[in-house]
């Protein structure tokens, strides 16, 4: 295909925006309705393959869900099958993780819930995606993602036998389920396995299995135990690690049976994780900073983790997930590790704000991707060296957080609501802008007009809540964070 090609006397291809083993995605213009669209084109052959694609595309076009790309049209022009979809602003999840590095657990869980919700809607209509991967999850706006490429996977699957004969890999090796590797068609649980791989990528920066050749990766899907998430990222909760482990079981019968079950588990993880994080932060914030001359926690690096730079954990050497001894040791160590990580982050932020522009930049560097204000620094593995603070000092320390800590908590509360996708993108952008302005004002004048700005923020939150544009839970959390800022002035 070339720019300027017109399909079905209607869709003019303008520029290629993606490519895969089975075709290309183009930004195009619908010359009948005068709107920008995305067009996936596939040279699908003839006969049964194209008819199968036509049926699958019609089914996919009937799907309607906030987390599934909207399909406008599908057809066959000559020997080319095409699927016309809404054009999303992006980026896709693959590019997002590459730019940010390891995602915070709360954000990864929120995004996984959306992916699972979209898959549940598709599965209810009898459609299995079969090619779930970060590149096929695209941001529609701040905190909101959609699954793309429905209708194409069936054609790819039907061509698998023909392509395998020439050693051409169909699909994405790091995200293929064992049954797909064996050549079986797969079902809803195959998508669940792939989602487990995607969650691993979000939480560790790379999929569960890697290798120098796709065949080596496929072999690991078949025979190697997936490394526990916590072996690479100790800050991840035990409950989430266990869920991902179940999703990555070799036998489909040992995985969660439906995406609805996955969603319920993710919601439990989010609830427990938020409660545990709140308790840990409350206990850790009250610690006084290190004395002069003592060991000071350094701010996290501002570069994303490289694919091989996490905590060592290869597929071949991964211990079994069901060992009660290992589970007990991991659970016991998790408390200390989480406390150390939180202390490092908070002390890093406090030190960054008090030591001039250069330090502040390294401690609070952020990136705006697809309109979402998010921290750009992945959490590093906690230090275990001398000078690590403990929580024993919390009994005698003051309970009010410092201003930098309170502002960090406010940013986190707002970002959490944005990631959940509850807010309208424009409202989310406005709310984030107001928090940024408050932060800058406090940094500039030490809080001269802060009380007025806090009251304006509270009024704006009230308006959003009364109109149903902000969840009650989100309003309560942000209001509480605002109160902490006010108390710290």
Q: Which fold has domain 6-86?
A: Phosphorylase Kinase; domain 1 (3.30.200)
Examine the residue annotation and report whether 131 is marked as an active-site residue of this protein.
yes
Distance between CA atoms of 61 and 84, rounded to whole angstroms? 9
What stretch of H or E contains 197?
A: helix 188-204
What is the reported pLDDT for 446? 60
What is the reported pLDDT for 256? 97
DSSP for 123-171?
HHTT---S---GGGEEEEETTEEEE--TTTHHHHHHTHHHHHTTTPPPS
What is the reported pLDDT for 29? 97
Task: Answer whether 403's CB lies under 8 Å from 445's CB.
Answer: no
What is the reported pLDDT for 272? 64
List the domain boundaries for the chain. 6-86, 93-265, 279-305+323-379+397-488
What is the reported pLDDT for 345? 38
Please give the structure tokens belonging to residue 471.
């969840």
Please give the structure tokens belonging to residue 158.
């039907």
Q: What are phi and psi of 257, to 5 degrees?
A: -75, -30
Task: Answer whether 460's CB lies under 8 Å from 474's CB.
Answer: no
Q: Looking only at Cα atoms, what is the longest distance across the chain? A: 77
Q: How far is CA 356 from the centre of its chain?
A: 32
Distance between CA atoms of 257 and 192, rounded to whole angstroms? 8
Which SS3 state, helix, strand or coil, does residue 17 take?
strand
**What is the 8-class DSSP label of residue 68?**
B
Task: Answer whether 158's CB lies under 8 Å from 45's CB.
Answer: no
- Measured from the Cβ of residue 276, the count of other Cβ atoms closer than 10 Å reads 15
What is the reported pLDDT for 444? 64
Distance between CA atoms of 260 and 282, rounded to whole angstroms? 33
Distance between CA atoms of 149 and 53, rounded to whole angstroms? 12
Q: What are phi and psi of 222, to 5 degrees?
A: -80, -35
What is the reported pLDDT for 118? 96
C-alpha distances in Å from residue 394, one per residue of 292, 391, 398, 403: 19, 6, 8, 18
- 131, 149, 412, 439: which is the annotated catalytic residue? 131
Long-range contacts of 380-387 (CB under 8 A, 24+ apart): 380/300, 380/301, 380/305, 381/234, 381/310, 381/311, 382/234, 382/235, 382/337, 382/340, 382/341, 382/344, 383/297, 383/340, 383/344, 384/340, 385/295, 386/295, 387/290, 387/294, 387/295
**C-alpha closest to that of 170 among 186, 158, 188:** 158
40 labelled as ligand-binding?
Answer: yes
Distance between CA atoms of 306 and 98, rounded to whole angstroms? 9
Instruction: Give 3-state DSSP helix, strand, coil % of the chain, rounded to 5.
Output: 50, 15, 35
- Identify the segments of the chain with pLDDT beneath 70: 20-22, 44-53, 56, 151-171, 272-401, 405, 412, 415-425, 443-450, 473
What is the reported pLDDT for 339? 41
Residue % of the chain over a pLDDT of 90: 36
What is the reported pLDDT for 186? 84
Please give the structure tokens belonging to residue 344.
């490092």
Q: Which fold has domain 93-265?
A: Transferase(Phosphotransferase); domain 1 (1.10.510)
């Amino acid at each position: 295909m070339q720019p300027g090609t017109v399909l079905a006397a209607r869709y003019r291809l303008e520029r290629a925006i993606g490519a895969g083993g089975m075709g290309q995605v183009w930004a195009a213009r619908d010359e009948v309705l005068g709107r920008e669209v995305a067009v996936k084109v596939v040279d699908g052959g003839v006969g049964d393959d194209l008819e199968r694609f036509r049926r699958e595309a019609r089914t996919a076009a009937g799907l309607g869900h906030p987390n599934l790309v909207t399909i406008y049209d599908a057809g066959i022009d000559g020997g080319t099958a095409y699927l016309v979809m809404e054009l999303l602003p992006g980026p896709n999840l693959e590019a997002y993780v590459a730019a940010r590095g390891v995602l915070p657990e709360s954000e990864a869980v929120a995004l996984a819930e959306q992916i699972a919700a979209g898959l549940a809607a598709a599965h209810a209509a009898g459609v299995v995606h079969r090619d779930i991967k970060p590149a096929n999850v695209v941001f529609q706006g701040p905190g909101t993602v959609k699954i793309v490429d429905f209708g194409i996977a069936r054609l790819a699957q039907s061509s698998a036998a023909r392509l395998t004969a020439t050693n051409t890999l169909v699909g994405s090796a790091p995200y293929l389920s064992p049954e797909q590797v064996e050549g079986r068609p797969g079902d809803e649980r195959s998508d669940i396995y792939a989602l487990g791989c995607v969650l691993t990528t979000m939480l560790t920066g790379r999929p569960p299995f890697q290798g120098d050749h796709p065949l080596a990766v496929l072999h690991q899907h078949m025979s190697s135990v997936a490394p526990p998430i916590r072996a690479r990222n100790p800050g991840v909760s035990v409950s989430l690690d266990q869920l991902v482990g179940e999703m990555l079981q070799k036998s489909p019968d040992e995985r969660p049976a439906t995406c609805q079950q996955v969603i319920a588990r993710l919601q439990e993880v989010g609830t427990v994780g938020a409660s545990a994080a709140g308790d840990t932060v409350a206990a850790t914030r009250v610690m006084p900073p290190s004395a002069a001359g003592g060991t000071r926690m350094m701010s996290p690096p501002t570069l994303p983790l490289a694919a091989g730079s996490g905590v060592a954990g290869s597929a071949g050497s991964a211990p079994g997930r069901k060992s009660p001894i290992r589970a007990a040791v991991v659970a016991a160590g998790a408390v200390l590790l989480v406390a150390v990580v939180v202390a490092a982050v908070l002390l890093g932020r406090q030190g960054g704000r008090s030591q001039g522009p250069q330090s502040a930049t390294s401690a609070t560097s952020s990136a705006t991707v697809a309109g979402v204000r998010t921290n750009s620094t992945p959490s590093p593995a906690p230090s275990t060296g001398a000078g690590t603070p403990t929580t024993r000092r919390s009994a005698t320390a003051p309970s009010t957080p410092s201003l930098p800590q309170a502002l960090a908590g406010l940013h986190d509360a707002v970002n959490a609501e944005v990631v959940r996708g509850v807010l309208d993108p424009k409202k989310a952008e406005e709310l984030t802008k107001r928090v940024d302005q408050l932060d800058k004002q406090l940094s500039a004048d030490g809080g001269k007009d802060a009380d007025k700005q806090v009251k304006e923020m509270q009024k704006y939150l009230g308006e959003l809540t009364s109109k149903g544009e902000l969840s009650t839970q989100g309003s309560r959390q942000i209001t509480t964070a605002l109160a902490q800022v006010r108390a710290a002035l």
